[in-house]
Chain A
Amino acid sequence: MIAKKDLEHMGWLARLELSEEDKEKYTPKLNSVLDYFGELDEVDTEGVEPTYHILPMNNVFREDEVNVPAKPLTQEEALSNAPKKQDGFFKAPRMM
C-alpha cells in the first residue's frame, strides 16, 4: 500500500515537485498498479526460467575503434542545450 508520504519520497527521488492535487490524484493510481503486480505474484511460476531480458539475444558487441560509428560532438554542440555553462563546462547547482 502506497501512502502519501511514499509518493512524496518517490517524487523527491525523481526530483519532481508534486502539488497537493497531484498527490491526491497519483496515490490511488500507483496503488492500482501495485495491486496488479499483486495479482501477477499469484501466478504459479514453479519451474519457469526467470526472464532476464525481453529480447531473445545475447552477446551484442562493438569493436574498440575510436569514433565508430560516429564522430563525437564538438564542445559547442555538446553545450548547446545547457541552461548554464562556464568555460566549456556544464554548470549546475551545488549538490550536498
Chain B
Amino acid sequence: MYDNPDGVMIGLEVHVQLNKLKTKVFCGCTTDYHNDPPNSHVCPVCLGLPGALPKINKKAVEAAIKVGLALNCKIEEHTQFYRKNYYYPDLPKGFQITQYDFPISSGGHIMIEGEDGEHRVGITRAHMEEDPGRLVHEGTIDKSKYTLIDYNRSGMALLEVVSDPDMRSPKEARRYLDKLRNILEYLDVFDGNLEGALRVDANISIMGGQRAEIKNISSHKGAERALLYEIVRQKNVLRRGGIVVLETRHFDEAREITMSMRSKEEAHDYRYFPEPDLVPLKISGWAPAIKETLPELPDARRLRFVEQYGITDDHAKALTSELKLAIFYENVAKKADPKTAAVWICDVLKGELNYRNLTIDSFKKEHMLSVIGLLASKKITEDGAVDIIRTLLDKGGSPDEIVAEKGLLKVEGDIVSTAAEEAIKENPQAVADFKAGKEKALNSLVGAVMKKTKGRADARAAREVLLGKLG
C-alpha cells in the first residue's frame, strides 16, 4: 500500500492529435503538413476568415468514439460544440471550437502500473476540439520580440483526455502517459512520433496547498521532470510558511523549471457559448458497431501472450507496451520457440535498441529468426548471438555473413582440446600454482585457451576440458 506522504494529487489533460485522419476536423485541408512550408495548408475555415463555415469530419467523430470506448467511457447521447473565447495569436478566430458541458464521452478509466501494483486512473472525459496554430519564437519565449505563426496545424482534430486527479507521483503520471499513448497507437488513430502529436497540461497539488496547472509539456519525460520540480517548489513554499496559490505555470523544457504566468484571464472569462455554425451530434447509436471493430488492446494482448505462448507476465508486459514490438514478437513466435523469442527480444534486442535510440523498425524479424535458429542448433554461443545483434544494428548485413566474417561458429571440441594442451605446455607456472591449490591459476589457462581459439570457444567448455587434462 502506497501511503503518499506528501498527499500528492496529479491530474492530466492530454491533447491528442488525431493525426491518422486525412483531413482536419472542420475543413478539407490535409493533415500531412509536417515537412511543408508554413501556412501552405490553410483555407478560409482554418484561418478563421469571415464567412467561412466549419463542417465536421465524420471520421474524426468515429475516432473520438473509438478512443472513448477504449478508455471505458460512456458515449453521450447528446454532444455539441462551444466557442471558447480568448485572444492569442495561435487562434485565428479569437475563439477555439471545443466542447464544454456535453463532451462526446465521459466517466471512464484505465489501469496503470502504480506505486503499489495495478492502479486505476479515472477518465473524467474525453472531448473533441480544434488544434490552434503553431507559434514560433525567436529565441526564448520570455525574450523574443515577435511571435511567428504557422496555421498549418490550425484545425487539426484534437481529443482532450482529462483524467481524474488519481496519480500520486510523477512516476505514475509518466506511466499513465505511456499507457494512454500505447492504447491510442493500438487504436490506429494516432502517430506519436509526429511533432506536436501529444501535449500535456498537468494539475498538481500537495497536502496543504492549492493546485498549480503546468502548461507546455510536450513529452512523457518532460511531464515527469516538470512534476518533480513542482513538488519540490510547492514543498519549499509551504516549509517557509508561504501559501501555494492556484495558478498557471509554464514549463521551460530546456531549463527544467516551471514559471508563473500570471494572467488576467480566469476560467469564467472564456465566455463559452454554443457554436452556432455546428449542429449538435446524436451519435451514441454508433457506439455498439464501433465497439465491434475495436482491436485487441494492450491489457488483453498481454494476458493472451502469457496464456498462448507461456511467457512470463513481465515479458508479456514489455512486449505489449509498444504495438510494433508486439507485432514483431508475434511474427517471430509463430516460427520459433516463443519463450526463447521473448527472452532474446525483451532482454537483449530491446536494450540494444534503446541504447542506440532506435525502434523495432530497425530490426528485421527474419534476422531474429536466424539468430534464434543458430542458437537452437548450437552453432553459435550466446555471446556470439549478442555480437550478431549488435553488428546488425551498427553495420547491417545478415546473420550468416556476420557469422562467417567474425568466425562466430562454435569451434569443434578437438580444437579446444589442442588449445588446452598447448596452454598447459606453455604455462608451467600456472599449472604448478593450480596443482598447489591456487584455483585462480586456472583462469589464466582458460584465458590462454580463449586467446588461441580467438574467443570462439565457450569459456565454460574450455574450463572443463582443462580440468580434465590437469586432473
Contacts and interface: CB of A to CB of B under 8 A. Distances in A.
B145 interface: yes
Nearest to B26: A62
A72 to B, nearest CB: 5
Interface in B44-67: 44, 47, 55-61
Contact of B37 (A62, A71, A75): A75
A92 B146 contact: yes
B463 to A, nearest CB: 66
Interface in B61-95: 61, 78, 80, 85-89
Interface in A10-65: 12-15, 52-55, 57-65
Contacts of B60: 64
B148 A62 contact: no
A58 B59 contact: no
B149 interface: yes
B269 interface: yes
Contacts of A52: 78, 80, 102, 274, 280
Given A65-B23, A72-B42, A95 B89 contact: yes
B261 interface: yes
A76 B279 CA distance: 33
Contact of A91 (B37, B55, B146, B282): B146
Contacts of A15: 87
Contacts of A88: 37-40, 150
B144 interface: yes
A78 interface: yes
A12 B59 CA distance: 38
Interface stretch (B135-143, B195-203, B295-303): B135-143
B21 A64 contact: yes
A91 to B, nearest CB: 5
A61 B65 CA distance: 15
Contact of A75 (B40, B44, B58, B144): B40
Interface in B361-390: none
Contacts of A71: 43
A63 B274 CA distance: 23
Contact of A70 (B28, B102, B141, B148): B28
Given A64-B58, A66-B23, A95 B29 contact: no
Interface residues of B, number: 55
A55 B280 CA distance: 9
A25 to B, nearest CB: 22
Contacts of B414: none
B42 A78 contact: yes
Contact of B149 (A54, A64, A92): A92
A83 interface: no
Contacts of A68: 28
B125 interface: no
A92 B89 contact: yes
B279 A59 contact: yes
A74 B42 CA distance: 8
A89 B154 CA distance: 13
Contacts of A73: 42-44, 47
Contacts of A63: 57-59
B282 A59 contact: yes
Given A13-B271, A64-B21, A89-B150, 16 more contacts: A52-B274, A53-B276, A55-B279, A59-B283, A61-B55, A62-B28, A64-B57, A64-B58, A67-B28, A72-B41, A86-B148, A88-B37, A88-B150, A89-B38, A92-B146, A95-B147
Interface of A: 12-15, 52-55, 57-75, 78-79, 86-96
10 contacts: A52-B102, A52-B274, A63-B59, A64-B22, A66-B29, A70-B43, A73-B47, A90-B149, A90-B151, A92-B148
